Amino acid sequence: MADSMATIERIYADVLRRNPAEHEFHQAVREVLESLVPVLDRHPEYAEMKMIERICEPERQIIFRVPWTDDRGEVHINRGFRVEFNSALGPYKGGLRFHPSVYLGTIKFLGFEQVFKNALTGMPIGGAKGGSDFDPKGKSDAEIMRFCQSFMTELYRHLGEQTDVPAGDIGVGTRELGYLFGQYKRITNRYESGVLTGKGLSWGGARVRKEATGYGAAFFAQEMLAARGTSLEGKTVVVSGAGNVAIYAAEKCSQLGARVIACSDSNGYVVDERGLNLEVLKQVKEVERGRLTAYAERVPHARHVAGGSVWDVPCDVAIPSATHNEISRDTAISLVKNGCIAVSEGANMPTTPEGIRVFLEAGIAYGPGKAANAGGVATSALEMQQNASRDSWSFEYTERRLEQIMRDVHAACHEAAEEYGSPGNLVLGANVTGFVRVAEAMQALGLI
């Protein structure tokens, strides 16, 4: 145990030295490494083969310039990224994020998480992430098209159905993916449907893809509660965010008998004790791209709170679906004191390490993002299957596949936590399961 802990500390110190100022990446690595001491105790060969060091170092990091012109003819320069982290289990798979906050540390943290998340799905896909510091907000369709075409003009040479398959993420929806795929097709002269996922239904997309991450987080919450002899039926749920993940987590929780009473956006949050009206919420957010103030104006019994934290609203189940590190130690303490019994993370790393410790010490059901939000990439892999076979599946069939995958993810995490001496600790279970699956494949493929 002492030797394994010393090995972990040495590896982490080396990650800090080699990746300066990439704080999100440091946090993601630390969270995984802390779970691996019992694995190294049982499998010293992983330390001998420097397996952890190899997994912490991306196979390839691509950074490039993205020049484009706005509608006034003014030239703009953004930076593009693609970090192809690990392909031991299959082609690189992971989304593209367009947001001003994007920098290399963001992409590396997301790519690192993606490696383990993808391994947990049981699907044959590796891990990657990409994006740009471009901000699509306030841009015209023509400006977004020109940016996407410029972005893909460089990125295309690194992609392929058997090499690297991006998807959408924050700031990259069906519109952006359409422009990206169109430029890829134009440059390569090939209709490779499987080179991008999250596509529109009329040009190779999969049903349930839009709903998948949110539905998956709800299914995972249901599995965690079932392991404790209860269910979502009759529970009050709060979600953060009001994008795809939040909306469809709320929808599936409602279908499973819960009452979703609050969600948030960058201007505050809305509370609707009778249960969110999803029809109105979808109209405001998906059609009008408006603020939650518009929801409160149309639903008389709802109230909007400007600023503040949606986590001040007491609930049985929390589904953070906005951004990383939104739940601090104090927020976690407040949730537990207010009666929260389960947290299923729809976003990537939304809870700080201190917050995670609060949840684990309180003994509540806590599903880390790499497990709880794996439904999105799992359905992307299902989209790849359909594209490869030139097939199209029904919504019901795809949803059944998604639900079974999320059950399998929970079961694997639950069993690993017990096997490695920490029953109920799904953080350890997820990290250990993902790591072992990737490490076994890397070992089989040799030192490459």
Q: What confidence tens digit (pLDDT) does each residue in 180-197 have? A: 999 999 999 999 999 999
Q: Which of 363, 393, 421 finishes a domain?
A: 363
Q: Is 129 a catalytic residue?
A: yes
Is residue 129 domain-resident?
yes
Find tokens 């299914």 and name the residue.
219
Q: What is the mean pLDDT of residues 407-425?
A: 97
Is residue 327 domain-resident?
yes
Q: Give the integer Cα–Cα distance in Å for 146 and 447.
A: 41
Burial annotation 220-241 (CB, 10 A radius, 16+ → b, else e): bbbbbbeeeebebeebbbbbbb
Q: What is the pLDDT of residues 119-168, one digit of tens each?
A: 999 999 999 999 999 999 999 999 999 999 999 999 999 999 999 999 99
Does 332 lie in the same domain as 221?
A: yes
DSSP code of 296?
H
Query: What is the predicted pLDDT for the residue at 93?
Result: 98
Is residue 383 domain-resident?
no
State the number of CA atoms in the 13 A half-sphere of 46 facing the CB: 26
pTM: 0.93
93 known member of a binding site: yes
Q: What is the domain count for the chain?
A: 2
Q: Give the integer Cα–Cα distance in Å for 50 and 11.
A: 9
Helix (H) or strand (E) holding 82: strand 75-86
114 known member of a binding site: yes
Residues 6+ apart with CB under 8 A from 350: 240, 320, 321, 322, 323, 324, 325, 326, 327, 369
Does 229 lie in the same domain as 185?
A: no
Give the Å distances, CA to CA, from 213 to 139, 316, 336, 377, 403.
26, 20, 25, 8, 11
Q: Give the integer Cα–Cα distance in Å for 210 and 173.
A: 9
* Cβ–Cβ under 8 Å, residues 226 and 251: no
State the pairing for strand pair 75-86/127-132: antiparallel
Is residue 334 domain-resident?
yes
Is residue 27 domain-resident?
no
Q: Residue 263's pLDDT band (boundaries 50, 70, 90)?
A: very high
Say if residue 9's pLDDT is above 90: yes
Question: In CATH, what number is assigned to the domain containing residue 141?
Answer: 3.40.50.10860
Find tokens 């709060």 and name the residue.
238
Question: In CATH, what number is assigned to the domain containing residue 295?
Answer: 3.40.50.720
Q: What is the pLDDT of residues 276-325, one digit of tens each?
A: 999 999 999 999 989 999 999 999 999 999 988 999 999 999 999 998 89
Q: What is the mean pLDDT of residues 261-279?
A: 96
213 known member of a binding site: yes
Q: What is the mean pLDDT of residues 254-272?
A: 96
DSSP code of 194?
G
Q: Residue 2's pLDDT band (boundaries 50, 70, 90)?
A: low
Q: In 227-352, which residue ranges form alpha helices assigned H by DSSP?
A: 244-255, 278-282, 292-298, 329-337
Does 288 lie in the same domain as 234?
A: yes
Does 323 lie in the same domain as 286?
A: yes
Query: What is the predicted pLDDT for the residue at 1?
Result: 62
Does 113 lie in the same domain as 223?
A: no
Listed residue (265, 260, 269) closest to 296, CA to CA:
269
Is residue 177 domain-resident?
yes
Is residue 10 domain-resident?
no
Does 249 lie in the same domain as 171?
A: no
Does 318 lie in the same domain as 286?
A: yes
* Cβ–Cβ under 8 Å, residues 237 and 261: yes
Q: Which of 346, 363, 380 finishes a domain?
A: 363
| Residue ranges making up the domain that contains 185 | 60-191
Neighbours of 306 (CB within 10 A): 9
Query: What is the predicted pLDDT for the residue at 324?
Result: 87
Question: What are phi and psi for residue 127, nearest 5 degrees?
Answer: -125, 140
Neighbours of 65 (CB within 10 A): 10
DSSP code of 198?
S
Question: Quick one: the chain helix, strand, coil %, rounded to 5?
Answer: 50, 15, 30
Does 250 lie in the same domain as 120?
A: no
**Total residues belonging to the chain:** 448
Does 359 lie in the same domain as 217?
A: yes
Catalytic residue among 129, 210, 252, 285: 129
Give the Å distances, CA to CA, from 192 to 199, 306, 441.
12, 46, 27
Does 297 lie in the same domain as 256?
A: yes
Give the Å distances, CA to CA, from 236 to 275, 279, 319, 372, 391.
9, 19, 11, 19, 39
Does 215 lie in the same domain as 187?
A: no
Is residue 368 domain-resident?
no
Q: In 196-307, which residue ranges form alpha helices assigned H by DSSP?
A: 209-226, 244-255, 278-282, 292-298
Query: Six-digit token pair at 207?
Result: 């049903």
Find tokens 């010293």 and name the residue.
44
Does 167 lie in the same domain as 305?
A: no
Say if residue 36's pLDDT is above 90: yes
Q: Which of 363, 392, 415 finishes a domain?
A: 363
